[in-house]
Copies of this chain bind each other. A is one copy, B any other.
Amino acid sequence: MPAYNAPLQDMRFLLNEVFDLKGMLSSLDGLKDHVDTDTADAILEEAAKISNSLLAPINRSGDEEGCLWNDGVVTTPSGFKEAYKTFIEGGWCGLGGNPEFGGMGMPKILGALVEEMIQSANISFGLYPMLTAGACLALDAHASEELKEKYLPNMYSGVWSGSMCLTEPHCGTDLGIIRTKAVPQADGSYTVSGTKIFITGGEHDLSDNIIHLVLAKLPDAPAGSRGISLFLVPKLLVDDKGVSGEKNNVSCGSIEHKMGIKASATCVMNFDGAKGWLVGDVNKGLAAMFTMMNYERLAVGVQGLAAAEQSYQNAVAYALDRTQGRSPQGAQNPDKAADPIFVHPDVRRMLMNMKAMNEGSRAFSVYSARFLDLSKYSQNESERQHAEAMVALLTPVCKAFLTDRGLESTVTGQQIFGGHGYVREWGQEQLVRDVRIAQIYEGTNGIQALDLMGRKIVSNDGRFFELFANEVADFVEGHRQDSSLQEFMEPLSAALSRLCDVTEHVIKSAKDDPSAVGAASVEYLDLFGYTAFAYVLARSAIAAQAHKGDDSNGFYDGKLKTVRYFYNRLLPRTLSLAEAVRSGSEDMMAITAEQL
């Protein structure tokens, strides 16, 4: 059975030594009164504990048992209900929530690390509170005071949970063509009718009520995405005293049989004239969803890292234990029949690939979460605007790059086990199946890449991109004199130039070629991702170097070795990615339907 050990040392290193949590907290009015680095540390410790002891133990059984649907009732696997009760008693559902309505008001820079731990231990379980948190974000930002008072406290406490009802059988990516209807009623409420699919946590037995956020169209709504409104539709209607009782006209038609996350209920939800309330303005539903999207997309990106971290931990344990063959340097274990497979260069290559990408992913998620906090809490208008632009730019990279690397790493972690990785026993194959969904939901990774290349870069002529490029260029410039850093600064500078050239090239191509953005987008996002990882890892290397004489368990030395490995072995991937982007759209647009 795999064990999970939260990588607390790396997390603390990032918060305290690389990204200056203390400085950030003290500068933000909305945080400094109730969070300090001690609180943050205690929360990390506690999250590690529940992940290790509460959530990891029901991960494999949850996968094997799965959720059950029976006549509209969904039952989660054994142990989930009890674990959820303990989980919500710890207040975890409201970690990032608005304190005015019972949330804990913790910054995302901490929340992202907590999410990583929960999801390393149990992605299926983690999805239930994640959806609730997302729904709360949208309600907190857009719902009326009345709705907030009525729903948020019970959602932050986890007594009620949330769901996001967007996708319909005929549309997922293209929400402009949804068919769910909302008809206004005399009492100010709406009657919502339609079918939603792929609804995570749409029905289950963990919470007393489920608050659905539903995208629907008013009868007279304009066509396309400008005619979408957002509605709150509870499973059980809530009376004036805040007590839920009477059943609303919402039902779960079935649950999906999926490749993975089998303990997470993925539901077909039928709204048959269900009572709902408008959240935000009429026809501004998509905009209201976008408020929470950046938070959710970071959380989904973190799922990629989370699965990869668990797979890595399992692979390390196996590589040190399993003996097979001899080291090319000569037997290391001459008294035994074989050496541990850790001696083989190719096994080390696989482990180092995972380690470098995981540490890059963690650093990048903290870096991005910091901008989310600044964009939410900063009172300095230019700092806030800058942070908002950075969030817009970085979010699609977080979501897609971390989950693509997550699949890559879990496949690698499975490979290290040989045939034992393909059978259930060791948990490695479940991680591959579970993480695969993160590349698909919350906007497929192809959509993330289009968002980055199109909306975030080409459509503003690279204005957001320049903020990032300038930050990296300033960083390189600031360390140009330090000869001990040249092994990182020179390739970082080269990678940045390459990224800038390619960015300019695509912005230019897009002026004449409407297919240029779509043709470039996925490889461009990867190119951006590797370059951004090089940047945050170089920042980690500098912080690690400061500890040369003070490194009791070799952590800082290991960090430097890992960053070096990334630079020499993985960063060169940008060469090919740049070439692929430059090859343009012509070759892929030339083929006809008949020639496929």
Q: Is there an interface contact between B593 and A342, defined as CB atoms closer than 8 Å?
A: yes
What residues of B have a CB within 8 angstroms of the CB of A444 in the complex?
415, 418
Q: How far is the CA of A248 from the CA of B579 in the complex (A)?
A: 61
Q: How far is the CA of A482 from the CA of B411 in the complex (A)?
A: 44
Which residue from B170, B173, B587, B592 sits with its C-beta under 8 Å from A565?
Answer: B587
What residues of B have a CB within 8 angstroms of the CB of A260 in the complex?
422
Q: Is there an interface contact between B257 and A423, defined as CB atoms closer than 8 Å?
A: yes
Q: How far is the CA of A50 from the CA of B444 in the complex (A)?
A: 37
Q: Does A118 contact B (CB under 8 A)?
A: no
Q: How far is the CA of A407 from the CA of B414 in the complex (A)?
A: 13
What residues of B have a CB within 8 angstroms of the CB of A197 in the complex?
419
Q: Does A258 contact B (CB under 8 A)?
A: yes
Which residue from B170, B425, B433, B555 sits with its C-beta under 8 Å from A595?
Answer: B555
Q: How far is the CA of A437 from the CA of B579 in the complex (A)?
A: 32
Q: Does A480 contact B (CB under 8 A)?
A: no
What residues of B have a CB within 8 angstroms of the CB of A344 in the complex?
518
Q: Does A429 contact B (CB under 8 A)?
A: yes
Which residue from B316, B422, B437, B450 sits with its C-beta under 8 Å from A436?
Answer: B422
Nearest CB in chain B to that of A574: its residue: B576
What residues of B have a CB within 8 angstroms of the CB of A167 in the complex?
419
Q: Is there an interface contact between A173 and B345, defined as CB atoms closer than 8 Å?
A: no
Nearest CB in chain B to that of A564: its residue: B587
Q: From DSSP, what is the main secondary structure of chain A's interface residues?
A: helix
Q: Does A271 contact B (CB under 8 A)?
A: no
Q: Is there an interface contact between B591 and A580, defined as CB atoms closer than 8 Å?
A: no
- A518/B328 contact (C-beta < 8 A), A257-B423, A595-B561 known: yes
Stretch at the interface among A87-95, A214-222, A228-236, A347-355: A347-355
Looking at the assembled complex, report how far the CB atom of A87 sits from the nearest CB atom of chain B, in whole angstroms. Answer: 25
Nearest CB in chain B to that of A518: its residue: B345
Q: Is there an interface contact between B316 and A591, defined as CB atoms closer than 8 Å?
A: no
Nearest CB in chain B to that of A454: its residue: B328
Q: Does A338 contact B (CB under 8 A)?
A: yes
Looking at the assembled complex, report how far the CB atom of A326 sits from the nearest CB atom of chain B, in whole angstroms. Answer: 8
Q: Is there an interface contact between B565 and A572, defined as CB atoms closer than 8 Å?
A: no
Q: Is there an interface contact between B587 and A352, defined as CB atoms closer than 8 Å?
A: yes
Which residue from B266, B445, B580 sits with its C-beta under 8 Å from A572?
Answer: B580
Q: Is there an interface contact between B345 and A589, defined as CB atoms closer than 8 Å?
A: yes
Nearest CB in chain B to that of A565: its residue: B587
Q: Is there an interface contact between A595 and B557, defined as CB atoms closer than 8 Å?
A: yes
Looking at the assembled complex, report how far the CB atom of A358 sits from the nearest CB atom of chain B, in whole angstroms. Answer: 11
Q: Is there an interface contact between B429 and A259, defined as CB atoms closer than 8 Å?
A: yes
Q: Is there an interface contact between B588 and A569, defined as CB atoms closer than 8 Å?
A: yes
Identical copies of this chain, number = 2
What residues of B have a CB within 8 angstroms of the CB of A437 in the complex?
422
Q: How far is the CA of A422 from the CA of B262 in the complex (A)?
A: 11
Q: Is there an interface contact between A587 and B573, defined as CB atoms closer than 8 Å?
A: no
Which residue from B338, B554, B583 sits with its C-beta under 8 Å from A592?
Answer: B554
- A522/B424 contact (C-beta < 8 A), A441-B419, A561-B595 known: no
Q: Does A432 contact B (CB under 8 A)?
A: yes
Q: Is there an interface contact between A415 and B346, defined as CB atoms closer than 8 Å?
A: no
Q: Does A521 contact B (CB under 8 A)?
A: yes
Q: Does A575 contact B (CB under 8 A)?
A: yes
Which residue from B338, B561, B590 sits with its C-beta under 8 Å from A591?
Answer: B561
Please encode chain A, from 55 to 95, with 1 for each CB lying within 8 Å of some chain B CB and 0 for all others.
00000000000000000000000000000000000000000
Q: Does A514 contact B (CB under 8 A)?
A: yes
Nearest CB in chain B to that of A449: its residue: B346
Which residue from B259, B446, B515, B572 sits with its C-beta under 8 Å from A579?
Answer: B572
Which residue from B414, B554, B575, B596 sits with its C-beta under 8 Å from A576?
Answer: B575
Q: Is there an interface contact between A514 and B328, defined as CB atoms closer than 8 Å?
A: yes
Q: Does A209 contact B (CB under 8 A)?
A: no
Q: Does A440 contact B (CB under 8 A)?
A: yes
Please encode chain A, from 541 to 576, with 1 for each CB lying within 8 Å of some chain B CB and 0 for all others.
000000000000111011001101100111011111
Which A residues between 234 and 289 are near B, CB-CB below 8 angstroms?
A: 256-260, 266
Q: Is there an interface contact between A424 and B562, defined as CB atoms closer than 8 Å?
A: no
Which A residues between 314 and 329 are near B, CB-CB below 8 angstroms?
A: 316, 319-320, 323-325, 328-329
Q: Does A198 contact B (CB under 8 A)?
A: yes
Looking at the assembled complex, report how far the CB atom of A340 sits from the nearest CB atom of chain B, in whole angstroms. Answer: 8
Nearest CB in chain B to that of A197: its residue: B419
Looking at the assembled complex, report how far the CB atom of A187 sits from the nearest CB atom of chain B, in whole angstroms. Answer: 33
What residues of B have a CB within 8 angstroms of the CB of A569 in the complex?
580, 583, 587-588
Looking at the assembled complex, report how far the CB atom of A130 sits from the nearest CB atom of chain B, in whole angstroms. Answer: 17
Looking at the assembled complex, report how far the CB atom of A215 sits from the nearest CB atom of chain B, in whole angstroms. Answer: 16
Most chain B CB within 10 A, of A347, A411, A521, is at: A411
Nearest CB in chain B to that of A590: its residue: B561
Q: Is there an interface contact between A348 and B588, defined as CB atoms closer than 8 Å?
A: yes
23 residue pairs A–B, Cβ–Cβ below 8 Å: A171-B338, A172-B324, A173-B325, A177-B337, A197-B419, A259-B432, A328-B518, A329-B514, A344-B518, A345-B517, A345-B518, A346-B449, A348-B588, A348-B589, A352-B588, A414-B436, A558-B592, A558-B594, A561-B590, A561-B591, A565-B588, A572-B575, A574-B576
A interface list, Cβ under 8 A from B: 167, 170-174, 177, 197-198, 256-260, 266, 316, 319-320, 323-325, 328-330, 337-338, 342, 344-352, 355, 407, 411, 414-415, 418-419, 421-425, 429, 432-433, 436-437, 439-441, 444-446, 449-450, 514-515, 517-519, 521-522, 553-555, 557-558, 561-562, 564-565, 568-570, 572-577, 579-580, 583, 585, 587-596
Q: Which 6 A-B pairs have the closest CB atoms?
A: A558-B595, A345-B518, A572-B579, A259-B429, A576-B576, A328-B514
